[in-house]
Structure 1
Amino acid sequence: MLKIFMIERRSWILLFLFMQVLLLFIAYIDSAIPVKSIVYIAFLSFMIFIIFLAVRYNKETAFYRSLEYWESSLDLSGITDAQSPFEKIVAASITDQTNILKRMATENRMALEQERDDLLSWIHEVKTPLTAMNLMIERIEDEKIKAQLTYEWLRIHLLLDQQLHQKRISFIENDLHVEKVALEPLIFKEIKNLQSWCMQKGIGFEVDLEASEVLSDEKWLGFIIRQLLTNAVKYSEADEIIIGSTEQSGQTVLQVRDFGRGIDPKDLPRIFDKGFTSTVNPDQAATGMGLYLAKKAADSLLIKTHVKSIPGAGTTFTLIFPKPNEFVNLTRM
């Protein structure tokens, strides 16, 4: 800040130095003016000017120092009160702009919340005829048509579920309830939801859970597992998907492994990016949102996600759950 202050006041400093040099020069060429007295006056003036600069530095930079360290959080409480007329102009402008931004942020937040509420309401309304449709499909006697309709029904159901969680993810911190969650019933519930699809593709599951419980939010953990299982079933080219859990260094590790086409190495770093779909044999129906939302939910639950894939040999998704003491800050939200 001192360097900036000196640069800002360089014209005044140069003017003062020029006046002192001019005074000494006049005393030098004019014999009637005592040189020693002028040098003494110039020295005193210089010392007074140094003190003046020090005082003005502390006074003039206080306001701008507060701006330099001010966080852009629309909170003006950290800004020092303006003293000079120019500082008051700057402070008034910042205050006006901040109030405008606050008003716009409030309006936008209310609009987004209203849009979210409308969409959530619509999704819940759509679930009613969707449930009725499922009951009607169950009464169809032709097994081939029944299987096809059930598969299409499941796709709609999963897309609606994904959209529902996409709107909720922004407020996930307010929606978490961390407790002990039994893995087996949760996983088997998600497998049962995909049963018709798995039967159509001839896929079975091998489940081996050494660790039976984790600390997490049941609803959001179910959503994460649902996305991993959906991906595994979608891209599996074998008749089996392996799900296993172990305890490693006090942490629960859950893995979902399929034996599908795998993920291209160049795509691997981007699979959790929003809207990303495979660049190799892209699926036109894919939204690129499932793994993105699963990763965001996992991050909020302090779950680490890893993926290992061998092209042509399958993919393994790994969830590493936090240790119990790591939930202290999360449960205080």
Structure 2
Amino acid sequence: MIKRFLLERLSWIALFVFLQLFLLFVAFIDTAIPFTPILYIVFLSIVIFIFFLVLRYPKETKFYRSLIEREDNLDLTGLAEPESPFEHLVETSIMNQTEQLKKVALHNQTALEQEKDELLSWIHEVKTPLTAMHLMFDRLQDEKLKTHLTFEWLRIHFLLDQQLHQKRIPFIENDLYIEKLQLEPVIFSEIKTLQSWCIQKGIGFDIQLEETEVLSDGKWLSFIIRQLLTNAVKYSNASDIIVSSKLKNDHMTLTIKDFGRGIDSKDLPRIFDRGFTSTTQHQDNAATGMGLYLAQKAAQSLLIQIDVSSELAKGTVFTLTFPKQNEFVNIKSM
């Protein structure tokens, strides 16, 4: 700040130095003017000028230091009281711009909330006829047609569910309810939803749960497992998907292993990025690139770590590592 202060007043300092040198120059060339007293006056002027700068520095930089130290938000309460007319101009300009930004932000937030509420309402409305359609499929006699319609219904159901959770994730902290859960009913419920798709593809499940209890949020944990199981089924052919749990280093882990097409090693660091789809199967129009992204976002809020390992044509392993019970203190206090 000292350097900035001196640079700001460089022209005034230069003028002062020039005047002192000019006074010495005149006394030097004009023999009628005694040089020694003039030199003494110049010395005293410089001392007084330096003392003046030292005194003025904290007073003239107080307002600007408060600008530098304040947080990057729309709260101006931390600003120092302006001392000079120019500081008043700066303060007025900042306050006017801040008020305008607050109005725009409030308007955008209100519009976003309204859009979210309308979309959530629409999704819930659409789910009603979808449920009715699913019940109608049971009346169909043509099993092949029934299987195809059920598969397409399932795709629509998952896309709506994904959209629903995507809109809720920014406010997930307000929606968390941490409790002790039994893993088995959560997993079997998600498998049952995928049943018709699995039958069509000849996929089975091998459930190996050494640990059956976990501390988490039931709704969001189901969503995470749903995304991982959906991916496993989508990219696998006739084979078993192994779902296992165990205790590892005092942490409960849940593993979902498939024997599908796998993920290219160059894609692994990016699979949780928003909108990312495989580079090896880039023509796959069914992929949205949102499932794993949303699963990762939800897992972060639940303090769950998701690890993945994969080999092309050999399959993929997703591992969920759950936090210890005492690590939920911060979540519960939200």
Task: Work out whether the TM-score is over 0.5.
Answer: yes
CA contact (8 A) 1:173 1:300 kept: yes
TM-score by length of 1: 0.97
CA distance in 1, matches of 2:238, 2:81: 70
SS at the partner of 2:285? coil
The one-letter amino acid paired with 1:202 is G
How far off is 1:328 after superposition?
1.4
**1:51 maps to 2:51:** yes
Tell me the equivalent position of 1:298.
Answer: 299
CA distance in 2, matches of 1:258, 1:323: 27
The one-letter amino acid paired with 1:39 is L
CA contact (8 A) 2:246 2:252 kept: yes
SS at the partner of 1:71? coil
Tell me the equivalent position of 2:10.
Answer: 10
Structure 1, unmatched stretches of 5+, are none
CA distance in 2, matches of 1:314, 1:252: 23
How far off is 1:105 after superposition?
0.5
CA contact (8 A) 1:208 1:243 kept: yes
Tell me the equivalent position of 1:149.
Answer: 149
CA contact (8 A) 1:238 1:259 kept: no
Tell me how large the CA RMSD over aligned residues is.
1.1
CA distance in 2, matches of 1:209, 1:50: 78
Tell me the equivalent position of 1:288.
Answer: 289
Aligned length: 333
CA contact (8 A) 2:202 2:237 kept: no
Tell me the equivalent position of 1:332.
Answer: 333
Structure 2, unmatched stretches of 5+, are none
Within a 5 Å distance, the mapping from 1:165-314 to structure 2 comes to 165-282=165-282, 283-314=284-315
SS at the partner of 1:306? strand
CA distance in 2, matches of 1:85, 1:332: 47
Tell me the equivalent position of 2:96.
Answer: 96
How far off is 1:163 after superposition?
0.7
CA contact (8 A) 1:202 1:239 kept: yes
Tell me the equivalent position of 2:27.
Answer: 27
CA distance in 1, matches of 2:238, 2:270: 25
% identical equivalent positions:
65
Tell me the equivalent position of 2:323.
Answer: 322
Q: Give every structure 1 segment of 4 or more consecutive aligned residues whose post-TM-superposition deviation is greater than 4 Å.
A: none
CA distance in 2, matches of 1:39, 1:325: 76
How far off is 1:281 after superposition?
2.0
Deviations 1:228-265 (A, max 9, x none): 00000000124100111111111111111110111112
CA distance in 1, matches of 2:301, 2:160: 22
**1:73 maps to 2:69:** no
CA distance in 2, matches of 1:87, 1:17: 27
How far off is 1:177 after superposition?
1.1
SS at the partner of 1:215? strand
CA contact (8 A) 2:27 2:33 kept: yes
